[in-house]
Chains A and B, each alone.
Chain A
Amino acid sequence: MQVKGQTTIKAARGEVWSTLTDPDALRRCLPGCQRFDEVAPNEWEAAMTVGLAAIKGSYTGRVRISDQEPQRSYRLSVEGDGGGSRIRGAGLVTLEDAADGGATVVSYDGDAQVMGTLAAVGQRLLQPAARMLADQFFACIGTRLKE
Chain B
Amino acid sequence: MAVMRMVGARVKRVEDPRLITGQSTYVDDIRMVDMLYGVVVRSPIAHGWIRGIDAARARAAPGVVAVYTAQDLHFDGPLPNAWTLAGVHTSRHDPLCKDKVRMVGDPVAFVVAESRYAARDAADLVDVDYEDLPAVVDVERALQPGAATIWDNAPNNEAFRTEVGDKAATDAAFQRAARTVSLRLVNQRLIPNPMETRGVVARWERGPQQLTVWSSSQIPHLLRTNLAAMLDLPEHRVRVIVPEVGGGFGCKLNIYAEEALTARAATLLHRPVKWIEDRRESFAATTHGRGQVDYVELALDAESKIVGLRTRIVADLGAYAQINTEAIPTLSNLVLSGCYDIPALHSELIAVYTTLPPTDAYRGAGRPEGVHLVERIVDVAAREAGIDPAEFRRRNFIPKDRFPYTSQAGVDYDSGDYEAALDRALEMADYPALRAEQRRVNAGGERLMGIGISSYIELSGFNPSGSGGGIGWESSTVRFEPSGKVTVLTGVSPHGQGQETTFAQIVSDELGVPFEDIVVVHGDTATVQYGMGTYGSRGTAVGGAALMRATDRVRAKAKRIAAHLLEASPEDVVYDGGRLHVGGLPDRAVTIQEVAKTAYLQVDRLPQEIEPGLEATAAFDPTNFTWPFGTHIAVVEIERETGDVELKRMVAVDDCGRIISPLLVAGQVHGGLTQGIGQALFEGAQFDENGQPLTGTLMDYALPLASGLPRFELDHTETPTPVNPLGAKGVGEAGTIGATPAVCNAVVDALAHLGVRDVEMPITAERVWRILQEAERVAVSPGASGARPGVEGGTGR
Contacts of A84 in B (CB 8 A): 41-42, 44, 123-124
Chain B, 43-67, CB within 8 A of any chain A CB:
43-45
Chain B residues whose CB sits within 8 angstroms of the CB of A81 once the complex forms: 44, 127
Stretch from B303-311, B325-333, B688-696, B779-787 forming part of the interface with A: B688-696
Q: Which of A20-28, A36-44, A115-123, A139-147 contacts B (4 or more CB under 8 A)?
A: A115-123
**Cβ contact within 8 Å between B45 and A120:** no
- The answer to whether the Cβ of A83 comes within 8 Å of any Cβ in the partner chain is yes
Find chain B residues with CB under 8 A from A117 CB: 44, 280
Query: Digit string of B694-719 for contact with A (CB within 8 Å is 1, else 0)?
Result: 10110110000000000000000000
CB <8 Å contact, B124 and A120: no
Whether A120 lies near B280 (C-beta < 8 A) is: yes
A131 in the interface, Cβ–Cβ < 8 Å? no
What are the residues of chain A within 8 A of B688 when measuring CB–CB?
A: 119, 123
The residue in chain B whose Cβ has the minimal distance to the Cβ of A84 is: B44
Contacts of B696 in A (CB 8 A): 119-121, 123
CB contacts (< 8 Å) of B44 on chain A: these are 81, 84-86, 115-117, 119
Asked if A123 contacts B280 (CB within 8 A), the reply is no
Instruction: Please report the C-alpha to C-alpha distance between residue A110 and residue B45 in the assembled complex, in whole angstroms.
Output: 21
Do the beta carbons of A120 and B697 come within 8 Å of each other?
yes
Question: A82 to B124, Cβ gap below 8 A?
Answer: yes
Chain B residues whose CB sits within 8 angstroms of the CB of A121 once the complex forms: 280, 696-697, 699
Docked CA distance A115–B699 (Å): 18
Q: Which partner residue on chain A sits nearest B45 by CB separation? A: A115
Instruction: List B residues 605-634 near A (Cβ within 8 Å).
Output: none
In the complex, chain A residues whose CB is within 8 Å of the CB of B700: 123-124
How far is A140 from B124 in the complex, measured between Cα atoms in Å?
30
A114 interface residue (CB < 8 Å to B): yes
Q: Which residues of B contact A123 (CB under 8 A)?
A: 688, 692, 694, 696, 700
CA distance in complex: A119, B692 (Å) = 6
Number of interface residues of B (CB under 8 A): 21
Assembled-state Cα–Cα distance A25/B694 (Å): 35
Nearest B residue to A113, CB-CB: B690
Q: Across the two chains, which residue of chain B brings its CB closest to A60?
A: B127
Candidate in B44, B124, B693 with the most chain A CB atoms within 10 angstroms: B44
CA gap between A82 and B699 in the complex, in Å: 23
Contact partner, A120, options B41, B123, B127, B284, Cβ 8 Å: B284
B104 A115 Cβ-Cβ under 8 A? yes
Q: Is the CB of A119 within 8 A of B124?
A: no
Contact A114 B124 (CB under 8 A): no
Residue B283, interface by CB 8 Å: yes
B41 (CB) vs chain A CBs: closest residue:
A84
By a CB distance below 8 angstroms, the chain A residues around B124 are 57-58, 82-84
Report A42 CB to chain B, min CB distance, Å.
Answer: 23
Indicate if the CB atoms of A120 and B693 lie closer than 8 Å: yes
Question: Of A57, A85, A113, A119, which one neighbours B693 at CB under 8 angstroms?
Answer: A119
Interchain CB contact under 8 A, A115 and B690:
yes
| Contact count A vs B, C-beta below 8 Å | 55
A82 to B57, CA, bound (A): 13
A116: nearest residue on chain B (CB-CB)? B44
CB neighbours (8 Å) of B104 from chain A are: 115-116, 119-120
Q: Which residues of chain B from 660 to 696 have a CB within 8 Å of any chain A CB?
A: 688, 690, 692-694, 696
Alpha-carbon distance between A66 and B690 when the two chains are bound, in angstroms: 26
Chain B contacts of A116 at CB under 8 A? 42-45, 104, 692
0/1 string, A38-74, CB within 8 A of B gives 1: 0000000000000000000110000000000000000
**Bound CA–CA A117/B104 (angstroms):** 9
Q: CB-CB < 8 A to A58: which residues of B?
A: 124
User: In the complex the two chains form, what is the Cα distance from A80 to B692 in whole Å?
Assistant: 17
Quote the shortest CB–CB distance from B319 to chain A (angstroms).
16
Interface residues of B in 66-103 (CB under 8 A from A): none
Bound complex: CA A58 to CA B124 (Å): 9
Question: Among residues 556 to 577 in chain B, which have CB atoms less than 8 Å away from a CB atom of chain A?
Answer: none
Which residues of B in the span 109-129 have a Cβ within 8 Å of any Cβ on A?
A: 123-124, 127
Instruction: Write the chain A residue with the least CB distance to B692.
Output: A119
Contacts of B45 in A (CB 8 A): 86, 115-116
Residue of A nearest to B686 (CB): A123
Across the interface, name the chain B residue whose C-beta is closest to A115. Answer: B44
Contacts of B127 in A (CB 8 A): 81
A114 to B694, CA, bound (A): 11
In chain A between 122 and 138, which residues have their CB closer than 8 angstroms to a CB of chain B?
123-124
Interface residues of B in 526-566 (CB under 8 A from A): none
Closest residue of A by beta carbon distance from B689: A113
> Bound state CA distance, A81 and B45, in angstroms?
12
Give Cα distance in the complex from A106 to B642, angstroms: 40
| Known A-B contacts A82-B124, A83-B124, A84-B124; A120 and B692 likewise in contact (beta carbons under 8 Å) | yes
Whole-angstrom distance from the CB of A52 to the nearest CB of chain B? 14
Q: How many Å from the CB of A78 to the closest CB on chain B?
A: 16
Minimum Cβ distance to chain B for residue A65 (Å) = 23
Complex interface: chain A residues within 8 A of B43 (CB): 116
Expressed in whole angstroms, the Cα–Cα distance for A85 and B688 within the complex equals 15
Q: Which residues of A contact B283 (CB under 8 A)?
A: 120
Contact with A along B272-286 (1 / 0, CB 8 A): 000000001001100
**B595 → chain A, closest Cβ, in Å?**
61
- CB contacts (< 8 Å) of A114 on chain B: these are 692
Residues of the A chain whose Cβ atoms lie less than 8 Å from the Cβ of B699:
121
Residue of B nearest to A86 (CB): B44
How long is the Cα–Cα vector from A121 to B280 in the complex, in angstroms?
Answer: 8
- Which residues of chain A are within 8 angstroms of B280 by Cβ–Cβ distance? 117, 120-121
Q: Which residues of B contact A124 (CB under 8 A)?
A: 694, 700
Q: Which residues of B contact A119 (CB under 8 A)?
A: 44, 104, 688, 692-694, 696
Residue ID in chain B nearest A123 by CB atoms: B694
- B contact residues around A57 at 8 Å (CB): 124
Q: Looking across the interface, which residue of chain B has its beta carbon closest to that of A1?
A: B688
Among residues of A, the one whose C-beta sits closest to the C-beta of B128 is: A81
Nearest neighbor of B687 in chain A, beta-carbon distance: A119
CA distance A121 to B284 in the complex (A): 12
Closest CB in chain A relative to B149 CB, distance in Å: 21
Which residues of the other chain, B, contact A85 by a CB distance below 8 angstroms? 44
Which B residues, 11 to 41, have Cβ-Cβ distances below 8 Å to chain A? 41
A120 and B700 CA atoms in complex are apart in Å by 9
Residues facing B in A81-125 (CB within 8 A) are: 81-86, 113-117, 119-121, 123-124
Provide the bound-state CA to CA distance between A84 and B123, in Å. 8
Min CB–CB distance B685 → chain A (angstroms)? 11
What are 24 pairs between A and B in contact, CB < 8 Å? Answer: A58-B124, A81-B127, A84-B42, A114-B692, A115-B45, A115-B690, A115-B692, A116-B42, A116-B43, A117-B44, A117-B280, A119-B688, A119-B692, A119-B694, A119-B696, A120-B283, A120-B284, A120-B692, A120-B693, A120-B697, A121-B280, A123-B692, A123-B696, A123-B700
Query: Could you tell me which B residues sit within 8 Å of A by CB distance?
Result: 41-45, 104, 123-124, 127, 280, 283-284, 688, 690, 692-694, 696-697, 699-700
17 additional contacts (CB under 8 A) given A84-B124, A114-B692, A124-B694: A84-B123, A85-B44, A86-B44, A113-B690, A115-B692, A116-B692, A117-B44, A119-B104, A120-B104, A120-B284, A120-B692, A120-B693, A120-B697, A121-B280, A121-B696, A121-B697, A124-B700
The 10 lowest CB-CB distance pairs between A and B, nearest first, are A116-B44, A120-B696, A119-B692, A115-B44, A86-B44, A120-B693, A123-B694, A83-B124, A115-B45, A121-B697
